Chains A and B, each alone.
Chain A
């Protein structure tokens, strides 16, 4: 489903070029639960943004469902963000002073045509928040906010769900709940790509790709013993 070939990303600021990603080669198949792990500044979030059509690469190729993403225009990328992927962010990124229901409905507004309200209800039900539908986003706990964000990511039934440090702002109990939901979604057939620097979070994934200084340093199936050892190496 996803293939990255020699992908590179630089940030240019007043002629100062900072390389962020170097020679990334990666294949992700449909239905995978992949964790991209790495310390702060390693380039993992940038990689997720590129994979999620929020950012563009500097060189190399990004093939998504047999299409070269570099050849897609802005409007098509917006459609991809709307239909193909869903995002769960560390800081929830919910609209303030807006109800749970309206937050979850947001992607449907940009799907063209009339909004299917049943989809909103189903997505909210899937994260067990039906009783909070009419609450404003700022009236929820951290865990509940993140579940709303997952419902929003799910509402358009995307192929991939990207989760950027989804447990980073949560207590351990809420974090476990969120990871359980992501595992459930993966079991239902969604591809889940998790970005994290936490071993405990990454252990829920079936495959772990480690990044250091913009380069992939390992790409392995999940084995908790290996994680512990490799985390030390990355540090």
Chain B
């Protein structure tokens, strides 16, 4: 029997039982589209995160405070322990390293901003004046504060676009005084909208000189991180080591386990995030695979019902000369056609949902790219065919091994 005949016959049989075929195909569609949506979403997420990280500049090297490992590490930090050992002097020292061109320090505070009765709880980003040169944030109007203002603890403030909207609406805030903690801060600039970067909305921040934030808002002497530009990014490993050595010396640390800081480059950050996204995607794919397997069991179930229902037909085919192999091929082809239809349907639905996610994410301000993973499509189709072959094979084998006489009696 030719494959063409087998396929024609299988399609005909499946068309006779349209509703049952459709429901079985639906099970596969759900599984395949889930896999495809997850693979594509994972791909988009990677592109989004990598794009956002790249917006910081690939030459950026960041030094952050952290609770030493021997004191509990990240879990202690999460529980509120603050490391106060990093200071602006550390930044000066890092600035003097050979591969560092410039840097900015930062510390984060939170306070109420008020103007003419409008009050807004805001994250205050205390940064050095060099922030505007190093970071990709741009000014929409006015200016950013300068080094002198930072050194003189000037009470000046630059507003993120959303904060400006919340407090001032459409009117210009330049030259106006905002009250923070009973002191007036003069608005000297407004940032351009930037959106969320790594789920951190820059537009809701207010920028104040780092020393003003330390001394006037928080009453502390430490900073939380130093972001520096490297001259030659190929020397990132050496630069990282140089910062490690410098800060260990300055903080009297002789054992890396006692490091109260952590240095990371953009490449490190991308690696970590890609690993995390990859792992989460894999986990989700594994979960989606479960739905595919459920779809496969559905196929098995239907194929069993089909074999039981068509026992007489199998007997008749055997009586007129069909071999076991022919029967096996016919039932397997039916199972594979169901899964291939499910695969194609799943890819189409998956692509549509992926597009929907793209539209929704962008309408919420995320720069979410539309990404369809071709490998995802290939995996989906191959996997769906395999599901058909695996779950269809046992019922097909049962059909092939039916005794023709017993089968004919089932009419």
A: residues with CB less than 8 A from B are 49, 52, 54-55, 74-75, 78-79, 81-83, 87, 89, 91, 93, 95, 97, 106-107, 109-115, 152, 156
Contacts and interface: CB of A to CB of B under 8 A. Distances in A.
B197 to A, nearest CB: 63
Interface stretch (B84-92, B318-326, B360-368, B378-386): B318-326
A82 B404 CA distance: 13
A87 B323 contact: no
Contacts of A74: 323-324
Given A49-B405, A54-B404, A79 B16 contact: no
A193 B128 CA distance: 105
Contact of A82 (B2, B313, B321): B321
Given A74-B323, A78-B323, A115-B5, A91 B411 contact: yes
Contact of B317 (A83, A106, A113, A156): A106
B1 interface: yes
Contact of A89 (B1, B323, B408): B408
Given A55-B405, A75-B323, A93-B411, A109 B318 contact: no
B320 A152 contact: yes
Contacts of B408: 89, 93
A50 to B, nearest CB: 10
A104 B260 CA distance: 87
A81 B405 contact: no
Given A93-B411, A95-B313, A78 B405 contact: no
A74 B411 CA distance: 23
Q: How large is the interface on B (under 10, 10 to 19, 20 to 34, 35 or more residues)?
A: 20 to 34
B405 A110 contact: no
Given A91-B411, A93-B411, A107 B320 contact: yes
B121 to A, nearest CB: 72
A81 B319 contact: yes
Given A81-B318, A109-B322, A156-B321, 12 more contacts: A52-B319, A54-B319, A78-B321, A81-B319, A82-B320, A83-B321, A87-B320, A91-B411, A93-B408, A93-B411, A107-B320, A109-B5
Most buried by A among B5, B319, B321, B323: B321
A95 B316 contact: yes
A113 B322 CA distance: 14
A3 to B, nearest CB: 23
A84 B157 CA distance: 99
Given A54-B405, A110-B322, A110-B323, A93 B312 contact: yes
Nearest to B325: A75
B16 A110 contact: no
A52 B325 CA distance: 20
A93 B316 contact: yes
Contacts of A55: 405
- Shortest 9 CB-CB contacts between residues of A and residues of B: A82-B321, A110-B321, A107-B320, A78-B323, A81-B321, A110-B322, A75-B323, A54-B404, A109-B1
Given A54-B405, A55-B405, A95-B313, A111 B321 contact: yes
A106 B320 contact: yes
Contacts of A82: 320-322
Contacts of A78: 318, 321-324
Contacts of B2: 113-114
Contact of A87 (B5, B319, B324, B411): B319
Contacts of A87: 319-320
Interface in B281-322: 312-313, 316-322
Interface string B314-344: 0011111111111000000000000000000
Contact of A110 (B320, B404, B411): B320
A107 B322 CA distance: 8
A106 B404 CA distance: 16
Contacts of B325: 75
17 contacts: A49-B405, A54-B405, A55-B405, A75-B324, A78-B322, A78-B324, A82-B320, A83-B321, A91-B411, A93-B312, A93-B319, A95-B316, A106-B317, A109-B5, A109-B322, A112-B1, A152-B320
Given A91-B411, A93-B316, A97-B16, A79 B405 contact: no
A112 B16 CA distance: 26
B331 to A, nearest CB: 15
Nearest to B324: A74
A232 to B, nearest CB: 30
Interface string B374-410: 0000000000000000000000000000001100100
